[in-house]
Structure 1
Amino acid sequence: MVSAAYGGFPGAVGVSRLTVYDWPTIEGLPGGGTPHLHLTCSEGYVVTAGRGAVQTLTASEYRETPLEPGTVAWFTPGTIHRLVNDSGLEITVVMQNSGLPEAGDAVLTLPPDRLVDGDTYAEAVRIPSDDPEAEQVRIARARRDLATARFLELREAFESGDPEPLAAFQQAAAELVRPRLDDWERRWRDGAHAASEATRSQLDALRGKDQGHLSGARVTATGPTARGRFGMCGRLDVYPGI
């Protein structure tokens, strides 16, 4: 008898459509997103249009991965990543642990004085949804440029053989999210853990010659519930709750 049920998106991942910002960057690149890392979520890209790259910084290496239509790229938690938009870069983003990124599982590479506590950080990254679009653009671009400047400093230090600034940023990011961990665990249990447990239960049922869960099959379809939202890396069409 199948004891677990899960009806969410496969693997409890989150999906969004991303058009990467085409605002020129502070060091003169054609466009790009806001550098950040995730604490508990792997992230994947399926490139659907345009060209660019993803710049990544970890404790072991700095890397630049070219992106073009058909490329599938992904990285694990702790990877600082920054999208570069050379021309019309559009991506379908797949996020592990659907719901966690929206619950704060992302920390921008802001200067240390913006990472001292949750309230300070929240104010530094806030883009008021009721502001005129031109003001939202100004705030999003300024936020991106501030995070990019710190990312370039972290990269320069790392490539010069000094890992301490990167380690300090990782520690500050971890301290910022600690108050959220109980909520994150609940979301994980309701999502990714439940999806895995449903598979385990189905395997057990099939071994016991019980295929009853097949009679409960169903189909779900949805469209974006928000379009063009200002995200970290670009304008987002979002599909929450899948």
Structure 2
Amino acid sequence: MVSAPGPALPHPLPGAVGLSHLSAYDWEAADGVCGGSPHLHLVCTEAYVVTGGRGAVQTLSPDGYRDIPLRPGSVAWFTPGTVHRMVQGGGLRITVLMQNSGLPEAGDAVFTFPPEVLADPRTYEAAATLPPGGGAGTEAAALRRRDLAVEGYLLLRQALVAGDAGPLREFQRAAARLVREKVPRWRELWRCGALAAAERTGAQLDALAAGGDDYLADATAHRSEPTRLGGFGMCGRRDEYALPGATLPYEDR
């Protein structure tokens, strides 16, 4: 009788996705908008499931600038390379579902800092990394990081709205250069996480087709609680879960 092999990671969430909860920052930026730090992901699609309040997500992609309204029940998602900025409109609360759990935590996010910051990996890392802890010093650093990201973001948005996608494409290229050395580690995490989850489903289908059901004897249930509340993330205060495949919280990087 054919049985499916065991998981590469111990019981990840469905599809090996990442999960967190966010309360959008209410800090006002230079353009008068309250919200988070604009950034993109290189290989991960991200989804916002709105559970409370109102706001928006502003996105920049080669097909233009969008201001997508968010209200309870809304779901918005954006593919790799899409710059996104969470905007606070009043009590905005979001559950984030992140493709490829483990990759975002390993650095699959690049802030829209100005070009001179992006040009040097050490300068970028110094601007992107928050000090440990959750006190006033960490909050001040998160605010400075947000403001620096907004500074670069506004230049990208201005050009894109004017019909010039060149600065956005150059930012995407700069982001790709910054993370290139991390790709071997990302590939390892992907193989052990998202790819393994998909292959496990394939093995289960093969087992069922061959008349096997032994893998069902391993059925079980799991439960998790947040391991940190109110951390300073990219988009807002972040509640985190220590789930299989995660390393360090990507939003603290």
TM-fit CA distance, 1:114: 1.2
Counterpart for residue 169 of structure 2:
167
- Distance in 1, matches of 2:234 and 2:46, equals 14
1:145 equivalent in structure 2: 147
Show the counterpart of 1:16: 20
Q: Deviations over 1:154-206 (max 9, x none)?
A: 01111112221111101100000000000000000000000000000000000
Does the Cα contact within 8 Å between 2:86 and 2:235 map onto a contact in 1?
yes
Q: 1:28, CA displacement in angstroms?
A: 1.1
Deviation at residue 72 of structure 1 after TM alignment = 1.0
* Structure 1 residues 24-61: Cα deviation after superposition (integer angstroms, max 9, x where no partner): 121112x2010000000000011011100000000111
Alpha-carbon contact 1:14-1:96 (below 8 Å) kept: yes
In structure 2, the partner of 1:218 is: 220
Q: Does 2:230 align with 1:233?
A: no
Q: Map of 1:64-103 to 2, 5 A cutoff?
A: 64-103=67-106
* Matched AA of 2:68: T
Contact between 1:59 and 1:166, CA under 8 Å: does it hold in 2? yes
For normalisation by structure 1, the TM-score amounts to 0.96
Residue 3 of structure 1, CA deviation: 3.8
2:132/2:138 contact within 8 Å kept: yes
Let me know the Cα RMSD of the aligned residues. 1.1
Aligned to 1:184: 186
**Uncovered stretches (5+) of structure 2, i.e. residues with no partner:** 245-253
Whether the 8 Å CA contact 1:14–1:240 is kept in 2: the answer is no
In structure 1, stretches of 5+ residues that fail to align are: none
Residue 200 of structure 1 aligns with which residue?
Answer: 202
SS at match of 1:82: strand
SS at match of 1:148: helix
- Checking the alignment, whether the CA contact within 8 Å between 1:99 and 1:240 is kept in structure 2 is no
SS at match of 2:193: helix
Distance in 1 between the 2:82 and 2:3 partners?
38
Contact 2:4/2:215, CA 8 A, preserved across alignment? no
Cα distance, 1:240 vs structure 2: 2.8
Give the Cα separation in 1 of the matches to 2:58 and 2:5. 40
Q: SS of 1:47's equivalent?
A: strand
Q: Is the 8 A contact 2:47 2:75 kept in 1?
A: yes
- Of 112-121 and 84-93, deviating more is 112-121
Deviation string, structure 1 residues 63-91 (Cα, Å, up to 9, x no partner) = 11100011111111010000100101010
Letter in 2 for 1:15: L
Partner residue of 1:2?
3
Q: What's the TM-score once normalised by structure 2's chain length? A: 0.92
Contact conserved, 1:51 with 1:67, CA < 8 A, in 2? yes
Q: Deviations over 1:118-142 (max 9, x none)?
A: 3221111111014x61121111111
Q: Percent identity?
A: 52
* 2:179 aligned counterpart, secondary structure: helix
Question: What is the Cα deviation at residue 5 of structure 1?
Answer: 2.5
